[in-house]
Amino acid sequence: MSLIKQRRFAPYFFTQFLGAFNDNVFKNALVILLTFKIVSSYSNILVNLAAVIFILPFFLFSPLSGQIADKFEKSSLIRKIKWIEIGIMALGVIGLALNSIPWLLAVLFLMGTQSAFFGPIKYSILPQHLPRAELMGGNALVEAGTFLAILLGTILGGILASYDHYVLPVAIAILTFSTLGLVVSYYIPTAPAEDPALKIDFNPLRSGKRIFSVLASNQANFYTVFGISWFWFFGSTFLTQLPNFSREYLNGDPYVATLLMAMFSIGIGLGSYLSSLLSKGRVELGLVPVGAFGMTVSGAYLGMMDIQFSTDPNTIVSMFQSAPYIKALLALLVLAVSGGLFIVPLYAFVQTNTPSEYLSRNIAANNILNALFMVIGGIFAIICFSLGNSIQGLFVIVALLNAVVGLFIFKRVPEFTLQMIAWILMHSLYRIGKHNLDNIPREGAAVLACNHVSFVDPLVIGAVCPRPMRFVMYHKIYNVPIAHHLFKNAGAIPIATQKEDPELLEKAYDAIAEALENGELVCIFPEGGLTPDGTIQDFKPGIGRILERTPVPVVPMALSGLWGTWFSRVKGRAMKGWPRNWLKKIDVYTGAIIPVDDISLPVLQQRIAALRLEP
């Protein structure tokens, strides 16, 4: 929360908060007016047409907006967009005064266009102002703030539109908040252009194809973006049904529907905050499967629970006086909290796993997919209802689909599941101290060289490392039954000695070279085996051969505190006798990157040994 007080984050946060708030004031006011005041017939068609019109610009302009965000300085772009927002709001006031439906729908299209141009900047500017250790916290605040802004804007828009003389109150609100957003935007620090030499392609089809090809070139990024878009399918489907769920199942008054929306928004905020708290400055992918599990279980429970329809209309007060209704509220809250745990690490991973010069375009591609998935979500709900499903039936179907999609993504990007397992196991077994992990490069090929103390060393490293990596693993451990499938999905590289299996040794060197050529991080244990006495053993020459074939930087890493644990060879053989030393304090240190030209086995061994002695 301290970020809110700092200039490098606060002006940006309140600028995007006021923008989302203002958008929803106008959009919901327009929906209420179309439904109850300006027209009495065809309101259902117009309300859905309005939703389509707002989303359409994301398809048309996101490829262009991503290029612009990468090519130009971002804080000045934000100010230009906020000036345009004031102009659009002024046109909206004219439309309200004229009671002109075509005019108001045209204004809605312009609002969608403005949002499409702001979207890539919204997430790509964060890594320029926040270090990696603060990205989870920054994204958590942005997600929480966005959903709070949506809730408050929706409520205020509905209140203002209910007045008999609504034009002046709505006009004052949207012009005031858009002006406040502009003023605050002038305090956003400079964010230099990431790719100033970029030649902009104005053809939306050609440039759209290009940004998706860049996104698809990185499998982890592509399926992470797919997961973000699925979240919007899931969330928008549940959120859209809440008013009718309140009326048909809870017999709630209009304020009960608002309560349900508030629970959803508060839950997203709590989940976002919890993700930041649990990650402790790391992009914690292990939270994503936890969030997906919570979304599935709570969504299915909400759909299958027995809710007895009350003949008397429910109010907010009566909702908290009935056990079934309290359970429904808690299920919705858990669903939203799980959503926060799911979405925040995904955005942070894209930000840290994308080259900075392509980040805005990746976000633009994500915005296109988000819009597409929300449209598909609406169509899917219509199909389900036309086939005779109830709202609760839809909840169950979407919850089960969430499990299927989650398993698909986790299969394609095993880092999510592996980091969850590593995080749960390691934080249950030990208290882990992390030191100077920012020395691990955010992107690009590198070798992570670490001393080898115990059988859980890879789990410890995987639990704290800020980016995915490939482990080089002794083939006999790699082929252990049951665990083999996990190691294979993790991309571990099995290796043997020249005497044991020369063919497998050559395959291992080939696989390591291929991984490094693809810009991956590879972790090796140069000692070639576990230490028998707690000291660092002489390094084997294999790392020299790796670097000779693929010259890349080396990051020295040291593990301290694992000697003496059950998984070390302190008793001659690891895992002998009863487990011991649970919750022992262990430390992970990384040193400054060693350029490949300065590498030698004695130098590397000396650097890692020195790290172990750090206090």
292-301 pLDDT tens trace: 999 999 999 9
Q: How many CB atoms lie within 10 A of CB 59?
A: 17
CB proximity list for 598: less than 8 A, separation 6 or greater: none
Give the pLDDT band (50/70/90) at residue 613.
low
Compare 448 and 286 and report the one with higher pLDDT: 448
pLDDT at 320: 86
Burial zone of 399 (CB within 10 Å; 0-12 exposed, 13-18 middle, 19+ buried): buried
pLDDT of residue 422: 76
Q: What is the pLDDT of residue 47?
A: 63
Domain 204-413 superfamily per CATH: MFS general substrate transporter like domains (1.20.1250.20)
Residue type, 610: A
- The backbone torsions φ and ψ at residue 276, rounded to the nearest 5 degrees and listed phi first, read -65, -40
**Architecture (CATH level 2) of domain 1-200:** Up-down Bundle (1.20)
Q: Flag whether pLDDT at 615 surpasses 50.
A: no
Average pLDDT, the chain: 87
Tally Cβ neighbours within 10 Å of residue 370.
Answer: 23
Per-residue pLDDT tens digits for 49-98: 777 888 889 888 999 999 999 999 999 999 999 999 999 999 999 998 88
- Domains of the chain, residue spans: 1-200, 204-413, 421-612
Which of 37-41, 245-249, 445-449, 554-558 is the least confident region? 37-41
Residue 550, pLDDT > 70, answer: yes
The sheet that has 493-495: what strands, in order across it? 430-435, 584-590, 554-560, 446-450, 521-524, 470-474, 493-495
- Count Cα atoms within 13 angstroms, Cβ side, for 147: 28
- pLDDT value at 258 more than 90: no
Q: Under CATH, which number does the domain 421-612 receive?
A: 3.40.1130.10
Highest mean pLDDT among 166-170, 249-253, 279-283, 423-427: 166-170
The pLDDT > 90 percentage for the chain reads 39
Say yes or no: do domains 204-413 and 421-612 share a fold. Answer: no
Res. 581: pLDDT tops 80: no
Q: Rounded to an integer, what distance in angstroms lies between the CA atom of residue 337 and that of residue 124? A: 24
Instruction: Report whether pLDDT(144) > 60.
Output: yes
Q: What is the pTM of this model?
A: 0.78
Q: Is the backbone of residue 528 left (phi > 0), alpha (psi -120 to 50) or beta?
A: left
- Ordered alpha helix ranges (H), 522-581: 542-549
User: What pLDDT shows up at residue 135?
Assistant: 83
Q: Are 136 and 1 in contact (CB under 8 A)?
A: no
Lowest mean pLDDT among 170-179, 309-318, 366-375: 309-318
Q: Please determine, for residue 103, whether its predicted confidence score (pLDDT) is greater than 70.
A: yes
Residue closest to 522 by CA, chosen among 482, 549, 502: 549
pLDDT in tens, 491-529: 899 999 888 999 999 999 999 999 999 888 999 999 988
Quickly list DSSP for 344-389.
HHHHHHHHHHS-GGGHHHHHHHHHHHHHHHHHHHHHHHHHHHHTT-
Question: In the predicted model, what is the mean pLDDT of residues 269-275?
Answer: 90
